[in-house]
Homo-oligomer: A and B are copies of this chain.
Amino acid sequence: MNNLFADRMNNVHKSFIREILKVTENPEIISFAGGLPNPDSFPVKEVQEAVTNVLTSNGEEILQYSTTEGYQPLREYIASRYKKNGLKVHPDQVLITNGSQQGIDLTGKIFLNKDDNVLVESPTYLAAIQSFGLMEARFKSVPLLEDGADLDAVKRSLDENRIKLFYSVTNFQNPTGITYSQKKREMLADILKDRDTIFVEDNPYGEIRFLGEDIPPVKKYLDSGVLFGSFSKIVSPGMRLGWIVAPDEVMEKLVTAKQASDLHSNYFTQRVVYQYLTDNDVDKHIEKIKAMYRDQRNLMVEMIEEYFPEDVKITRPEGGMFLWVTLPEDLSSLKLFDLAIKENVAFVPGKAFYTDDMGDNTLRLNFSNSSADKIEEGIKRLGSVIGSLMNQKRHK
């Protein structure tokens, strides 16, 4: 049967992370490998109230089929929430999706022919590599600096290649935690303005800024941009509810592709989430999440400063759920992983996030899903494993 599968399946393999997560199911293991929100932040009681509310008032309607675009009041809510970023969004430019992951799928479907070039940050979000890979795209990459992509490299890549689409996670990137500066956003918009390249801005973590000031999305400076958002990090990831903001002509194609993909997103959940959003003080809820993650991030950074060898470098994210570790160049995080698992501590080796086979000396740590105890103990163990790996190297 193997000869029957489509060529595109050769470009995509089961996620390495998924395989790692299986290893870490052992409850003995302190895992910084996953990408899970802190479940203590989930508004269980409020969701329950929202369900009761919508089922009691409109039960039969909310269990029925609905429109491909999504529940209109929810689209309006999303559109108007962008006002605080100075972004003008019309509700008709919002498509409800199954998490922002489906944004990647639909965008790939409507824009990418086989062998089209997609520009990504190096490193980039793993499931974007998988999803664009399914559309048989080729990847070009640009280095990610402390304040966003290397814009000279972006310009060079756009000049040298026909780039159909530039995929970027501008806030608290997965995997690095890096955020584009205000200046870089404006410069990037300027670079992209008159080019035939679609800018796809994935922003699932944007609301979770626990340090510094909010910065508007690049789309504010670039009308043609396609922007993704998600309720996964502010309400519930299990509900798989996100959205795409796109110009009218793109929206039309997205709706067609969405319809062919799954008709529409879960309407029951759309109604529940909308009810939750209108009945509760969402900003207060988000403040609670931010406070949690700020503490978790601060503790992890503090422990790393205490327990990691000096020449190990880390990012210091101002939001989101991840930080990024760069080991000395001659160390392999894959080797480190094997040693760490023996000490019952896990992370994701960085290589998986690169399209260009780089990053063997990098790794991703998640701080949002571990208690203070586990962060302390896990980082201590990890520091000692890194130390022994460095010693091994030195003695060879």
Contact = CB atoms under 8 A, between A and B. Distances in A.
A227 interface: no
Given A42-B59, A44-B63, A238 B266 contact: yes
Interface string A89-116: 0000000011101101100011111101
B15 A42 contact: no
A14 B256 contact: yes
A5 B112 CA distance: 7
Query: How many monomers of this protein are in the complex?
Result: 2
Nearest to A17: B259
B266 A98 contact: yes
Contact of A263 (B40, B99, B263): B99
B39 A64 contact: yes
B266 A63 contact: no
A101 B265 CA distance: 12
A269 interface: yes
Contacts of A99: 262-263
Interface stretch (A129-137, A148-156, A169-177, A180-188): A129-137
B238 A268 contact: yes
Nearest to A264: B240
B269 A14 contact: no
B111 A6 contact: yes
Contacts of A101: 260-263
Interface stretch (A46-54, A295-303, A348-356, A388-396): A46-54
Interface in A16-57: 18, 35-37, 39-40, 42, 44-45, 47-48, 51-52, 55-56
Nearest to A267: B238
A80 interface: no
Interface string A206-220: 000000000000000
Given A6-B109, A6-B135, A48-B52, 12 more contacts: A2-B249, A4-B111, A9-B256, A39-B63, A44-B60, A48-B59, A62-B238, A65-B237, A98-B266, A127-B263, A133-B260, A238-B268
